[in-house]
Amino acid sequence: MREMFRVSIGGAHAGFVITVFIVVLFAAIGGTVWALVVGGAVAFWFAVALIAVVGGGRRGWVGVKRAYLLTFGWASWL
């Protein structure tokens, strides 16, 4: 089960790029308000992931990397 949910940093980078593309697309089509809503939701999810990771005992760049993987690592499964 653990192997099935494993994510890589390359997949997280791809997820970040896809997310930025979607936010830019929302800005182009729906205006800046929708881009702020979508970007704010992603930033909120990253903040929640960072709080959870720090609460789990990870500190510094290791914690930021883990939160990054939790936020954008979904692209490893595409």
Q: Is the pLDDT of residue 1 over 60?
A: no
Q: What is the pLDDT at residue 69?
A: 92
Are the beta carbons of 34 and 17 closer than 8 angstroms?
Answer: no
Are the beta carbons of 38 and 22 closer than 8 angstroms?
Answer: yes
> What value, to the nearest 5°, has the Cα angle with vertex 62 and ends 21 and 43?
35
Question: Positive or negative CA dihedral for 16, 17, 20, 25?
Answer: negative
What average pLDDT score do residues 11-21 get? 95
Band of residue 19 on the pLDDT scale cut at 50, 70, 90? very high
